[in-house]
């Protein structure tokens, strides 16, 4: 694999991970950094429910749909 291809794959992977993190952080209910830490520590709390049952699945599903669309796109 050439260096240019490795840089491209690395850049696309980094971009996808950043997009997933941003999708999880943004939402209708704004949460502070302390609230995110609480959600990570206690998934059964209200912020934890928002994070783990709404935002994370939505972001992962969007990523998977995009990957599937890219994989089935004609050349």
At 3 the pLDDT is 92
Instruction: Retrieve residue 37's tokens.
Output: 């830490």
Rounded mean pLDDT for each run of 10 residues along the chain, 75 residues in total: 91 94 89 91 94 95 93 86
**Cα of 4 vs its chain's centroid, Å:** 26
Q: What is the pLDDT of residue 29?
A: 83
């Amino acid at each position: 694999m050439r260096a240019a291809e490795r840089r491209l794959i690395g850049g696309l992977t980094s971009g996808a991970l950043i997009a997933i993190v941003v999708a999880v952080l943004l939402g209708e209910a704004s949460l502070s950094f302390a609230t995110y830490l609480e959600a990570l520590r206690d998934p059964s709390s209200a912020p934890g429910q928002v994070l783990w049952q709404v935002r994370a699945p939505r972001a992962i599903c969007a990523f998977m749909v995009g990957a599937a669309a890219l994989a089935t796109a004609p050349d």
